[in-house]
Structure 1
Amino acid sequence: MARRNDSSKVKDCFYVDDSDNGDGQMGTKNARSSNLTGDLMTFSDQDEQDKSHPSQPNQFQPLDCSSDREGDQKSSAALGSNTEEVCRNLLRPAINAVHQETKSRETTRRNIEDQDGHPKQTTGRNAGNQDDESKETTRSSSTGDKDRETTRSYPGATYQSLQAKAKRTPASSDEEQPMDEDGMRSPAIVHQENRRPPNETWLSNNKEETVLSMSPGGSIPRSQGEGILNLKRSSPSCQMPTLQPSMNHTVLVEANKIVQGSVPAPHRGRRTDAWDQEHVKMPHSPKNLYQRDRSFLGVKTRWSMITKALGKKLSSPQDIEKAIKSYNKKYERLWKFDALTSFFYSLHKDEQQHYLTNVIPGMARLVLGLPNICPKPIPLLKKREQRAITMSQLQCACLLANAFFCTFPRRNATQGNSEYSSYPTINFNRLFDEENSSKREKLRAIFCYFDQVLSQTPCGLVTFERRHLHGEHKDWSRSPKYFTKLHVSSEGTIEENGKGMLQVDFASPIIGGGVLGSGLVQEEIRFLINTELIVSRLFTEKLNDDESLLITGAEQYSHYDGYSRDFKWRGPMRDTTERDNWQRRCIEIVAIDAIRFHDFEEQFKRQNIERELNKAYCGFQFAPLLPQERVAIATGNWGCGAFKGHPKLKGILQLMAAAEAGRDVAYFTFGNTEFMKELYEMHRFLQNGYTVGQLFNALMKSCKERDWQNMPEFYNELKSKLLLSRM
């Protein structure tokens, strides 16, 4: 794709360019052989050809198989009508080569282990909704054998050659290694156009790049593919259009009075209350009534009870419990506060005193300020509607303080016939009940958030945008899109290494999952550290199969370690991410929910594959409602682990959806080095000019023939069918 000049920069940020369909990113060379066996040509042989031929423009040329087709037709006529069997016979050597490559790699790995005397070892946790597949690393033999010549099967190069290239980089092992923009120690990077491992070659903007990211010991690659710094990230320099409310976009602040560094003023319209089915029913509404008995004299507004209870001094967790129960009489004997009480007693005396004398009173003031901070009715983001809400971070804090003190009416009943049965819970009562270590860590993160916003009021905005495909489901079998760039890494996290990208939340259809209960996996952790995400539970109805939720501007307030039961809050974080001209942090998080499978083989049925593709595309699509930059996607093992999705299938489905949306991908395998290499090799194969439609058809055939019964060979079977499709 031709490079645009600076004058087209703003346009490129917001509008789809019909020419931007991946044509410039196909990753193939004109020097490739035109016959089918050329697809399996070793890259070392290809490099020999490159030396003898002048470089060609970065433009894919379709393989010319006309001569092969004529020969096949003659063979088919001679051998009979079973043309598919003929094709298989003709391609058998090529197909066998694909399988042999995997077997050779496994054999070499075992030989190395036998020579070194070290078994393979398993690396860290598999974060996110992940599969429990084995993740392996290999050790160096011993200190004395450091320099021993070891050859391990690796795409196009030996470990010895890769290490030798790493040694030629400017930074030596004795020098301080530079830090990249994500705050991580920079890997050994080889960027030599004339000397490169053949299978590490990528085509980008008509320029060949070789990027090899090694682990600190230099023994195992921690990332492959396109350099992560080469993927597009959001930039404040890309100016957004002026913030304006519309029929589908509710703005809760004075849009024309936004000043950098100042808290946005709330919008005060003519209508201050909306007690109906289209808006959030607010605690301060005059229609929020409490009826002590059946007589008229026993009726009073619940808001008067809230102001009275929270106007008193709250000097202990028991005082907090008493205050909350005073305006939730129906649940006085049902709600328990064991977790909240245990949390306060687990704190150091000084920290406990700080929370009770400073943070809790500040939160109570936020609650009582609700009529002035949020005077405009808040619409519900309902099913089958494409709608957005933009509010200030102060308004987020006010709403979350009300959720902490359980003031939202009609939101405590969870029965199937209740008014808000298709919405998440928002009041914090479930977080306060049964005590366990996970809830203590959750409360740590939540109090850390309130401590920060009370000490320094945030000045930005946050946008919540519900997306819906509106019947625009793709015919995946006919998609002409080529695959975009891929960076795949066994290390790093979506939120840290995917800064400035479209970051995927492995969501539940009920947004936020169990963040206010006992859940503590990828989605819940993200909602705890980017605490403003919890506000989405107030107004977002359960997601349909063709819907997603995009949140822009939610700030990160906490550091953490671990996952699930091992999750630990590690302290406050000051987020320094730049803001756009709407004063939102340049942080985009898209919530897409995968199917929870009870039977492993169900995920390989056509309707389920199409559903997952449409769900991912709904999240990845470009600016259906509000303006947006076409940044890369940061994702991982979406819908795996407890949801029983397989990473190999979910990986290529996300690559297909990203290609359809015209976005590059940064994929984090969370310690699974083997899967990192397999996904990279599959993607490299697909860049030989294959389209999303071709892969979809091969996938359908593979699933029909039940190739998933042998998952280690699943990608090789797909490659075989793609080769057959070119006959």
Structure 2
Amino acid sequence: MEKREDLNSILPFLPIILRSSSLFWPSKALESLKALALGPDVSRVDSGEVLFDAILDLRDAIGLSSERLASRAADGYALFFDELMSRVDSRVWFGEVIPSLAKLLVRLPSLLEAHYQNADEVFGEGKAGLRIMGPQEAGIVFLSQELIAALLACSLFCLFATSERSVRYLPLINFDQLFAALHPHGKQSQEQKIKCIVHYFERICHCMPTGFVSFERKSLPLKQSCHDISYPKAAFWRKSTVSLCPFEVFSSGLIEEQQCEALEVDFANEYLGGGALNRGCVQEEIRFMINPELIIGMLFMASMGYNEAIEIVGVERFSCYVGYGSSFCFAGDYLDKKLFDSIGRRKTRIVAIDALCSPRMMQYEVDCLVRETNKAFCGFLDSSIYQHCLKIFQDADENSNEVSIANRNIFPVCETTTTTEQVKDPDISENESASNLDLIGNTENKSCQVIDSQEDIGIATGNWGCGAFGGDPEIKSMIQWLAASQALRPFIHYYTFGEAALQRLEQVTQWILLHGWTVGDLWSMIVEYSFQRLSGEANVGFLTWLLPDHSTRDVQYMSE
């Protein structure tokens, strides 16, 4: 294979080498992997303690001996495989799973070469191949489930270089911290997380999945353009005439188990995966345990800026679970019955969006409201909808000599350049340019939804940015509604997880829909409420403030 830019970007972080346009394991590492593949009678790897010694030998063979692993990692591997795992399961693990994973790793160079060749043939050179996707580098990577399995095996054996990852804003990807956090007390939730990972490896060694997974870095450009959907300002939301989409509240159930086809929200950390490979065990970390293929995005996806999101399509679920946080528990095998799309991906769509952490009263300031709404909008937006709408109105203009698409204010385009500093402190002046206005309203909105191939895919979400992140669940629910509606999603399914503050959510959302509110109407009410919270005039939640007496309060249209 020829040298290529995307391979060169990821190669320093992989355990293999490029020589004479081909990929190889270092010879000593290949010998060790072949020995492991022959089973414990040859390799002598029959316990967690010996497995970790083999890991150290492999790391030495690929030149990683100078990079230290977590101090308690050796104890964690030994504790799990030699004490917490049953003898029966241990015999299967070391007699069958470890040899199978070693055979898979022997094939890693050929899997990567085939990956790059296929990605170029299908998507064009450099368009979808494995590469480091840094901040503000929008794009997509398509990986086979088999290649993902091989790369995750590298994580288990701690074969990824780590010394330069922080410089590239990349999270850690080896499993040493995951196992180190298990020792010395055998923390229950940590043990259960590892059980999910171990179960995944057992499954793929028994029957290798044959589908594909895509990882897409999405971005709302900070610099305004006539051709891209750019980062909106406050006036965009205030003046939007888009109708709010249907909103259905679920007081029980889980996002990942909803029945409708929807984009499922990952309450993410800015570093994809959050504490999944450490001590974390809340919404994002749990999702990464039951869908372990998500983890591989941590290999090449740099941390998200506030104008970015990461959408992942096609991951398979392998585990059932119960509980949350400290009560999380692996509950056995899960057979994923999701259908596949035309390019071999399961129709499981997950979007990672990171909320402000511990915003306290700052979350009611307009610049923070803009940041959170834009973050959700970036994640929820399907750019193909914009392209369809653009084509519709271009055709209409040609036929009727109507105003141009830019002047119709479908998206915030063709504005003056916006710098990073401006986005950090958005301009909220009443004199904001009217060219940064709303998306689509009334019948024009419906036309775009009808012709879009993704029109039936809504949003499945919940208390994003709340809980450990400290966000206001009432405001966050409304922000996500704004973003989903503006992105032309046909519905939101909102899972409250028993949040007491959201007991009136269904009543209020249905009242708003009954009165035909637009995105701009709801945004203006959120801003008014937030101003009163900051000034001390309001001391109740948004839902109570909006409908204080359960009556038919008139819609309040804010004057400009």
TM-score range relative to shorter protein: 0.7 to 0.9
Q: Does residue 678 of the first structure (1) align with residue 505 of the second (2)?
A: yes
Q: Does residue 454 of the first structure (1) align with residue 186 of the second (2)?
A: no
Q: Residue type of the partner of 1:604?
A: Y
Residue 522 of structure 2 corresponds to: 695
Residue pair 2:262, 2:460 contacting (<8 A) in 1 also: yes
Partners of 1:400 and 1:278 lie apart in 2 by 15
Q: 1:589 to 1:334 in 2, by over 3 A?
A: closer
Q: Does residue 304 of the first structure (1) align with residue 35 of the second (2)?
A: no
Residue 268 of structure 2 corresponds to: 507
Residue pair 2:474, 2:541 contacting (<8 A) in 1 also: no
Residue 662 of structure 1 corresponds to: 488
Residue 91 of structure 2 corresponds to: 353
Which aligned pairs between 1:554-565 and structure 2 lie closer than 5 A?
554-565=315-326
Residue 226 of structure 2 corresponds to: none
Q: Does residue 391 of the first structure (1) align with residue 143 of the second (2)?
A: yes
Say which of 340, 345, 361 aligns to 1:601.
361
Q: 1:333 to 1:280 in 2, by over 3 A?
A: closer
Partners of 2:336 and 2:369 lie apart in 1 by 38
Q: Does residue 635 of the first structure (1) align with residue 433 of the second (2)?
A: no
Which aligned pairs between 1:273-422 and structure 2 lie closer than 5 A?
276-277=8-9, 281-286=13-18, 303-312=26-35, 313=43, 314-326=45-57, 327=60, 328-331=64-67, 335=71, 336-344=73-81, 345-375=83-113, 376=116, 378-409=130-161, 411-412=162-163, 418-420=166-168, 422=169
More divergent stretch after superposition (310-319 vs 663-672): 310-319
Residue 339 of structure 2 corresponds to: 578
1:601-629 CA distance string (max 9 Å, x none): 11101000000000000011124599962
Q: 1:566 to 1:334 in 2, by over 3 A?
A: closer
Partners of 2:54 and 2:285 lie apart in 1 by 28
Partners of 2:215 and 2:293 lie apart in 1 by 11
Partners of 2:70 and 2:495 lie apart in 1 by 43
Residue pair 2:130, 2:143 contacting (<8 A) in 1 also: no
Partners of 2:543 and 2:501 lie apart in 1 by 13
Partners of 1:456 and 1:449 lie apart in 2 by 11
Residue pair 1:467, 1:550 contacting (<8 A) in 2 also: yes
Residue pair 2:70, 2:176 contacting (<8 A) in 1 also: no
5+ unaligned residues in a row in structure 1: which ranges? 1-268, 288-300
SS at match of 2:340: coil
Residue pair 2:310, 2:379 contacting (<8 A) in 1 also: yes
Partners of 2:382 and 2:69 lie apart in 1 by 49
Displacement after TM superposition at 1:498 (Å): 4.8
Q: 1:379 to 1:277 in 2, by over 3 A?
A: closer
Partners of 1:724 and 1:487 lie apart in 2 by 23
How many pairs are equivalent?
441
Displacement after TM superposition at 1:437 (Å): 2.4
Q: 1:552 to 1:713 in 2, by over 3 A?
A: closer
Q: Residue type of the partner of 1:304?
A: S
Partners of 1:555 and 1:334 lie apart in 2 by 29
Q: Does residue 648 of the first structure (1) align with residue 474 of the second (2)?
A: yes
Partners of 1:658 and 1:551 lie apart in 2 by 18
Displacement after TM superposition at 1:581 (Å): 1.4
Displacement after TM superposition at 1:286 (Å): 4.0
Q: 1:456 to 1:499 in 2, by over 3 A?
A: farther
Partners of 2:354 and 2:477 lie apart in 1 by 15
Partners of 1:713 and 1:443 lie apart in 2 by 39
Q: Does residue 549 of the first structure (1) align with residue 285 of the second (2)?
A: no
SS at match of 1:337: helix
Residue pair 1:698, 1:722 contacting (<8 A) in 2 also: no
Partners of 1:439 and 1:714 lie apart in 2 by 37
Residue 220 of structure 2 corresponds to: 469
1:521-551 CA distance string (max 9 Å, x none): 0000001101100010011010000100000
Partners of 2:7 and 2:542 lie apart in 1 by 54
Residue 391 of structure 2 corresponds to: none
Displacement after TM superposition at 1:705 (Å): 2.1
Partners of 2:307 and 2:384 lie apart in 1 by 13
SS at match of 1:551: strand
1:480-529 CA distance string (max 9 Å, x none): 11111111011000000255211000000000001110111000000110
SS at match of 1:725: coil
Displacement after TM superposition at 1:337 (Å): 1.9
Residue pair 2:521, 2:558 contacting (<8 A) in 1 also: no
Q: 1:581 to 1:723 in 2, by over 3 A?
A: closer
Q: 1:499 to 1:520 in 2, by over 3 A?
A: farther
Residue 715 of structure 1 corresponds to: 543
Q: 1:622 to 1:560 in 2, by over 3 A?
A: same
CA RMSD of aligned residues (A): 2.6
SS at match of 2:261: coil
1:284-331 CA distance string (max 9 Å, x none): 1148xxxxxxxxxxxxx9733422333332211122211222223224
Q: 1:374 to 1:584 in 2, by over 3 A?
A: same
5+ unaligned residues in a row in structure 2: which ranges? 36-42, 117-128, 223-229, 388-451
Partners of 2:453 and 2:306 lie apart in 1 by 23
Q: 1:680 to 1:583 in 2, by over 3 A?
A: farther
Residue 116 of structure 1 corresponds to: none
Residue 568 of structure 1 corresponds to: 329
Q: 1:675 to 1:273 in 2, by over 3 A?
A: closer
Residue pair 1:462, 1:551 contacting (<8 A) in 2 also: yes
Give the percent of matched residue pairs that are identical in Structure 1 and Structure 2: 31
Q: Does residue 439 of the first structure (1) align with residue 190 of the second (2)?
A: yes
Residue pair 2:529, 2:538 contacting (<8 A) in 1 also: no
Displacement after TM superposition at 1:332 (Å): 5.8
Displacement after TM superposition at 1:709 (Å): 6.9
Partners of 2:453 and 2:158 lie apart in 1 by 35
Q: TM-score, normalised to structure 1's length?
A: 0.57
1:124-155 CA distance string (max 9 Å, x none): xxxxxxxxxxxxxxxxxxxxxxxxxxxxxxxx
Displacement after TM superposition at 1:470 (Å): 1.4
Partners of 2:357 and 2:3 lie apart in 1 by 42
SS at match of 1:549: strand
1:569-619 CA distance string (max 9 Å, x none): 011111111111111111000000000025x21110100000000000001
Partners of 2:213 and 2:555 lie apart in 1 by 47
Displacement after TM superposition at 1:368 (Å): 1.8
Displacement after TM superposition at 1:722 (Å): 7.0
SS at match of 2:279: coil
Displacement after TM superposition at 1:347 (Å): 1.6
Partners of 2:500 and 2:524 lie apart in 1 by 28
